[in-house]
Amino acid sequence: MNIPESPARQKWRQIIRRQQSSGLGVAEFCRNQMIPPSSFFGWRRKLTHSQAATFVEATLAPRPAGIELRLRGGRRLLLCRGFDRELLAEALAALEAIPRHSEPGEPA
């Protein structure tokens, strides 16, 4: 059962994503948007902790070409020998930014 996210959480997730994609530091972004940095950091911490609490264990399946990470929702990530670690960090950040939807049988 999916429980809808509160409007405040949705709003702050969007603000945090906008800051991340803006190329600006938090202080400058908040100044430009007239957002108190304390609110930004508080919501970022709250949303990060709520995501961490719902992180799912990935199963590793060895493959001849490397390792495949199977994530919730059918997402898969194939790591080949000699993979680019920066690219992996970017891919994981992008996956973490995607709103989480509960799978049947999972706690919301």
Same domain, 68 and 91: yes
Which of 35, 55, 75 finishes a domain? 55
Q: Total domain count for the chain?
A: 2
Q: Which pTM was predicted? A: 0.45
Which of 39, 55, 71 finishes a domain? 55
Q: What is the DSSP string of the chain?
A: -PPPPPHHHHHHHHHHHHHHHHT--HHHHHHHHT--HHHHHHHHHHHHHHHHHTPPPPEEEEETTEEEEE-GGG-EEEEETT--HHHHHHHHHHHHHSPP-PPTTS--
Same domain, 2 and 51: yes
**What residues make up the domain containing 81?**
57-98
pLDDT in tens, 22-73: 888 999 999 999 999 999 999 988 887 655 444 555 566 555 567 777 776 6
Same domain, 66 and 44: no
Is the torsion defined by CA of 39, 11, 73, 78 positive or negative? negative
